[in-house]
Amino acid sequence: MTICSTYDGRTIDTTLAIQTWIEETRFENDVSVSVNTGSPFQTQRLYQSSQRNFYIVTENNYPESVADTTAAFVTERQACAWICENSHTIPDCLSSLDTGAE
User: How much is the pLDDT for 45?
Assistant: 95
Q: If you count them, how many residues does the chain have?
A: 102
User: How much is the pLDDT for 98?
Assistant: 58
DSSP annotation of 9: S
> Residue 102 falls within a domain, yes or no?
no
Instruction: Report CA Rg, the chain.
Output: 14
Domain that holds residue 90: 3-97
pLDDT in tens, 16-75: 999 999 999 999 988 999 999 999 999 999 999 999 999 999 998 888 777 788 899 999
User: How much is the pLDDT for 58?
Assistant: 92
> Residue 58 falls within a domain, yes or no?
yes
> Residue 59 falls within a domain, yes or no?
yes
> Residue 52 falls within a domain, yes or no?
yes
> Residue 61 falls within a domain, yes or no?
yes
Q: How many domains does the chain have?
A: 1
User: How much is the pLDDT for 41?
Assistant: 93
Between 2-6, 49-53, 93-97, the lowest mean confidence (pLDDT) is in: 2-6
- Nearest residue to 70 (alpha-carbon basis) of 83, 80, 60: 60
> Residue 55 falls within a domain, yes or no?
yes
